[in-house]
Amino acid sequence: MAIQDIRNYTGQITQENPQIRIRLNEELHPRWAHCDMISRYLGHLTGTLDLEKLEKSEVAELGDSVNYVANELLENAIKERSGGSIEICSGAKGHTVTLVVSNRIEAAKSEKFKASLQKLFDGESSLEEKFFATMEHNEAHPEAKVSGLGFLTMMIHHGADLSWRFESGEPAHPGRVSVSARLTASVF
C-alpha cells in the first residue's frame, strides 16, 4: 500500500448506513476509559450484526478482533482529537465487519498523521519487518512517547484492512479524519 491509497480508499469507508453508530459528544468529555468500555461493547455485539453464518468460535474470534481494533482506533481518536465529537460506526456484510472512527483534527496534527502513514507504507520492508524493527527501536529508545505499533498490530495480528480519509478544515474549524478498518472472519 502506498500513500496515495490513503486518499483513494475513501470509497470503502461506509459511514452512511452503519448498523451501529455511537457518538461521544464534547459534553461527555471523551476520555481514555471510554475506549475500553465501547470497544468491549462492540466486540460483544459482533454476533448480532448482519453477518453471514459463521461458527460460534469464528464469531468469538471476530469479536475479539473488533474489540482490539475498536479500542486502538478510539485511543488514537482520544489522543489526536481537536475538540468536537468522536463517532464510531460499525456494520457487517458477508463475513466482514467494518469499523469507522472519526474525529476532528488540527491541520498540523493531520499532516503529522499523514507523514506517519507515509512512513508506515513506504520502502521495501514488509509490514512484519517494520513491526519487528519498531519493537527493536522502542527497546533501544525507552524515552519514546509512542509505541508506533497500533496500526501494525491491527494489520498483522488481526488482518485489518485499513484506510483513511482526511477532510481539510480552516484555522477556526479543524478538519476531520476518518479511519476505516475491515475485519474479515475468513482471514484467520
Q: Phi, psi at residue 136, to the nearest 5°?
A: -65, -40
**Is residue 143 part of the contact set for other proteins (CB under 8 A)?**
no
Question: Considering beta carbons, is residue 67 or 90 the nearer one to other proteins?
Answer: 67
Q: How far apart are CA 185 and CA 61, in angstroms?
A: 8
Cell of 136: 527493536
Please give the angle made by the CA atoms of 163, 157 and 76, to the nearest 5 degrees: 50
| Residue ranges in 76-115 that form contacts with other proteins under rule CB under 8 A | 79
**Is residue 145 part of the contact set for other proteins (CB under 8 A)?**
yes
Q: How far apart are CA 111 and CA 119, in angstroms?
A: 12
**Is residue 45 part of the contact set for other proteins (CB under 8 A)?**
no
- Which segment (20-28, 85-93, 110-118, 153-161) binds other proteins by CB under 8 A? 153-161
Cell of 171: 484555522
Q: Is residue 43 within 8 Å of 19, Cβ to Cβ?
A: no
- Which segment (22-30, 117-125, 151-159, 165-173) binds other proteins by CB under 8 A? 151-159
Question: Considering beta carbons, is residue 161 or 167 the nearer one to other proteins?
Answer: 161
- Which segment (5-13, 14-22, 69-77, 168-176) binds other proteins by CB under 8 A? 69-77
Q: How far apart are CA 95 and CA 46, in angstroms?
A: 11
Please give the angle made by the CA atoms of 43, 153 and 67, to the nearest 5 degrees: 5
**Is residue 7 part of the contact set for other proteins (CB under 8 A)?**
no
The only residue of 82, 135, 161, 169 in contact with other proteins, by rule CB under 8 A: 135
Q: How far apart are CA 80 and CA 72, in angstroms?
A: 12
Q: Which residues bind other proteins (CB under 8 A)?
A: 32, 35-36, 60-61, 64-65, 67-68, 71-72, 75, 79, 131-132, 135-136, 138-139, 142, 145-147, 149-150, 152-153, 157-158
